[in-house]
Chains A and B, each alone.
Chain A
């Protein structure tokens, strides 16, 4: 009887072109699950300290999840891992689409690449036959075009993960794409793939994915699906700004229930909250120095969720997803269609740069997806460049004649094009804002909004301090899909893990800013839980339904035949987190250096808007968080005691 995982990984050395399979003992899965957990185990042991992320010794892994392909819902995420060239830390990125089951159908839980090929290549696996093929003909092609060509030349059924020109040009903010431009965007792992001259991984397999109890999985999935399908009518999109304004206005706020967010996701996708987030202070504006006052509803109306709904041609579901928050939208201009831009992309290319030209946002979304460049980092980098220009640190001469002012969509588009091509001023910014600031000097680093070198996502820690915390303490700094106060509320883990603190249905907003042990417990619980989720290959949006409605732990038990408690799974999450942190320590990272930029935690505080006067006590929060894992609370380094307790 199966256990959901394939029990094998594939190792490909691109220098010697040697390929071999490795059997992974059951014990490893029991300790680390699959997905990023298994990857942490492999990479921690095999990437030597001091390895150049763009050199031959870095290892790039494509991981499927423990639950992928088993009949479990939301289990279509794949993860890419490696030492990040952007941050120098543990790097991972997560993506939906249809690539994840393809990894397992080829017989593996993960495919790892080391070495550097002499010429551009792609890996092709077809029913057990593994080949390294020449990719010169698709090198230089954008991710959508190249994917189409590769699918065609391999018989029309393959699933492809690949880089665009950004990854080929070793831009440190490049990602890895699949399914016409969905991207595992963060951590700059596209550059690692580019450095290896690996254009694509093309998979066509048909292996069965064995599980312990298929009937039980089905039963659990059906129950969960009922919650997904329950879709009460909701306010029109035009009202969302007012909902946000109300949330800003009241001194209290209700604990968020993920059913509400699910309703929004199903109707509009992540863009549902665009205007609401701006109004309530969740979305950073004008490179984190502005607010809802600068980007008022009159300006942000162009990013209203209904705008996206109107041009949606068809809804998009990742593999095994009953929710389908995605969509394919028709656009004007060069590209007829694009994946519906995500909230992150719209805000990074929109409010963050004071740009409300929605056509330019659609265009940039597709341009960046095809180039394989992270929309969050691209937006963050442009916002930084604009601030430099407005402050006179950069002149028109420096910007190749571009008037890089707030909201100038023409200049923003041209600037990003230059970044993609590494042309003129674009070359300086193609590696993100921190690298650019280090080269520009003149005190510009303080305007680069980042953690550990990675541009910050579009959730403001001054509104939800949990974001500020997780941007700063996660082994992959600057990630927004690991934890936050609002996620903790929606995960509702306390309903299945009794020792976790519950949340009052209505609480005073001010209490969010108290840095205390309870917050640290909540933060740590989010991190541990998300490690389980990324080991299982689940989509985080599914887990926001709440622990009673989405049976994560029961699904894993039914799939593997294990009989473990939620607490035991949380311990696995803790182990994975500690191993990833140890990876960083091994590579010379000082965790406290990853603290997010000062402006982003309210130093100095904003003088107006939703987050007026707020400063997050980030140093206390970081220490408290580290303590929860038994790591050194001053340095964030895992202690020997914590390591041995977790059996690392």
Chain B
């Protein structure tokens, strides 16, 4: 067991997961002194009947709810202003984000706007610029995560907000709202969780509590992703994946972004590919880079990936390589079970070879100086060709 000399960990989130978890929300809201929440979601979620499920959960609670289901894929500040007005005029006292991605981004920013003042929103963008906690915030995630939902981050237009106050007070994972999604969305949600968890588990910020969150997240993804893809009716598997996404987000809030995250986000933004798909491609290469560069704790990864027996039975010097190989195998499996819909390499993801250098330069220029430009380039080149580093 790794014992760091010192560490910090913060996570204010209460998780509530299960087949009837939604029904706990009114009670939990009361504990948060809220009686009139505003539910923020999008049309897609409404169309799929999830809002109806929420309404039913509140039926006999005596709690009045407001619903806004007009969140677009690319929201803007104008929308935040409108929603803040709706919140204030409707005298709401809590926010429930039903869904993932831009829904949660907007919900978090609206929470800042109504807790502070929408006019000073831009001044609060940045790292830890919020001085006091925000209003009650509940997250009801779907299987469409981007990795940031339970984290301390949120984004709108060109602004990034980062504060522990942005983490939800409550995350409610209910099998009725965790519906089956497209192959790509499911894989993207799971792989961003796996990447964040793996980087937390092996990276320099590793500590016993991130380990606990990351360990479970890794194991949940490893054990459930292929099953969910091959058997879409598998409710438990879907629930496990959303739990993994939630836990990985908490771990991610307590670490410095790793190389896989940095490159994955950059490629996602540049080529409009889901960040989870990008991170899934980069995962084994990023881990190999870590082994080559400084070792850290990549060998440890074998434990959540393969279980205690195999971990114990593998020689110390082979553990890291074996863990990475499991990631490669997972890529192959995903490629196979999805009928080649999930790319294994950047080439398969249609990232042009001539862009590899530009991605590395852009990442470096944009301020990600944790790694050298040559390191970024090396990982990208290998991930483009699909050539493991160990064999180069």
Contacts and interface: CB of A to CB of B under 8 A. Distances in A.
Interface stretch (B37-45, B118-126, B212-220, B354-362): B354-362
B355 A334 contact: yes
Contacts of A296: none
Interface of B: 270-272, 350, 352-355, 358-359, 362
A410 B271 contact: no
Nearest to A415: B354
A334 B352 contact: no
Contacts of B270: 332-334
Interface string A321-347: 000000000001110000000000000
B358 A410 contact: no
B353 A333 contact: no
Q: Which of B350, B352, B354, B359 has the most CB of A within 10 A?
A: B354
B379 to A, nearest CB: 18
Nearest to B362: A334
A359 B352 contact: yes
B354 A409 contact: yes
A21 interface: no
B354 A360 contact: yes
Contacts of A425: none
27 contacts: A332-B270, A332-B271, A332-B272, A333-B270, A333-B271, A333-B352, A333-B355, A333-B358, A334-B270, A334-B355, A334-B358, A334-B359, A357-B352, A359-B350, A359-B352, A360-B352, A360-B354, A363-B355, A409-B352, A409-B354, A410-B352, A410-B353, A410-B354, A413-B352, A413-B354, A414-B354, A417-B354
A363 B353 CA distance: 13
Nearest to A332: B271
Interface string A354-377: 000101100100000000000000
A414 B272 CA distance: 23
A332 B272 CA distance: 7
Interface of A: 332-334, 357, 359-360, 363, 409-410, 413-414, 417
A49 B354 CA distance: 45
A409 B350 CA distance: 13
Contacts of B355: 333-334, 363
B350 to A, nearest CB: 8
Contacts of A410: 352-354
Contacts of B362: 334
Nearest to B361: A334
Contacts of B350: 359
A334 B271 CA distance: 9
A360 B355 CA distance: 10
A415 to B, nearest CB: 10
B106 to A, nearest CB: 21
10 closest residue pairs by CB, A with B? A413-B354, A334-B358, A410-B353, A332-B271, A410-B354, A333-B355, A333-B270, A414-B354, A332-B272, A334-B362
A386 to B, nearest CB: 16
Contacts of B353: 410
A412 to B, nearest CB: 8
Given A359-B350, A409-B354, A413-B352, 12 more contacts: A332-B270, A332-B272, A333-B270, A333-B271, A333-B352, A333-B358, A334-B358, A334-B362, A363-B355, A410-B352, A410-B354, A417-B354
Contacts of B359: 334
A417 B270 CA distance: 19
A637 to B, nearest CB: 47
B364 to A, nearest CB: 13
A302 B184 CA distance: 25
A222 B280 CA distance: 59
Count chain B CB atoms within 10 A of each CB in A333, A334, A363, A417 and give the residue with the most: A333
Contacts of A363: 352, 354-355
A409 B272 CA distance: 20
B351 to A, nearest CB: 8
A332 B362 CA distance: 13
A333 B358 CA distance: 8
A499 to B, nearest CB: 55
B352 to A, nearest CB: 6
Contacts of A332: 270-272
Contacts of A360: 352, 354
A413 B353 CA distance: 10
B359 to A, nearest CB: 8
Nearest to A331: B270
Nearest to A412: B354
A334 B267 CA distance: 9
Contacts of B358: 333-334
A265 to B, nearest CB: 29
A314 to B, nearest CB: 15
Contacts of B271: 332-333
Nearest to B356: A410
A417 B352 CA distance: 15
A413 B354 CA distance: 7
B128 to A, nearest CB: 28
A565 to B, nearest CB: 56
A332 B358 CA distance: 12
B243 to A, nearest CB: 34
Most central of A332, A414, A417 by chain B CB within 10 Å: A332
Contacts of A359: 350, 352
A492 to B, nearest CB: 45
Nearest to A414: B354
A367 to B, nearest CB: 9
A334 B362 CA distance: 7
Nearest to B355: A333
A357 B362 CA distance: 22
A352 to B, nearest CB: 18
Nearest to A413: B354
Nearest to B272: A332
Nearest to B271: A332
Contacts of B352: 333, 357, 359-360, 363, 409-410, 413
Contacts of B272: 332
A340 B341 CA distance: 31
Nearest to B350: A359
A259 to B, nearest CB: 38
A417 B350 CA distance: 20
A325 B226 CA distance: 50
Contacts of A334: 270, 355, 358-359, 362
A414 B355 CA distance: 10
Contacts of A409: 352, 354
B139 to A, nearest CB: 30
Contacts of A413: 352, 354
A359 B358 CA distance: 14
Contacts of A414: 354
B62 to A, nearest CB: 48
Nearest to B359: A334
A4 B359 CA distance: 50
A413 B356 CA distance: 12
Contacts of B354: 360, 363, 409-410, 413-414, 417
A368 to B, nearest CB: 14
Contacts of A357: 352
B384 to A, nearest CB: 11
B376 to A, nearest CB: 14
A592 B150 CA distance: 73
A360 B350 CA distance: 11
A577 B358 CA distance: 46
A67 to B, nearest CB: 40
Q: Which of B350, B355, B362 has the most CB of A within 10 A?
A: B355
A359 B353 CA distance: 12
A409 B352 CA distance: 9
A403 to B, nearest CB: 11
A438 B139 CA distance: 69
A359 B362 CA distance: 18
B129 to A, nearest CB: 25
A609 B359 CA distance: 41
A576 to B, nearest CB: 44
A410 B358 CA distance: 13
A85 to B, nearest CB: 29
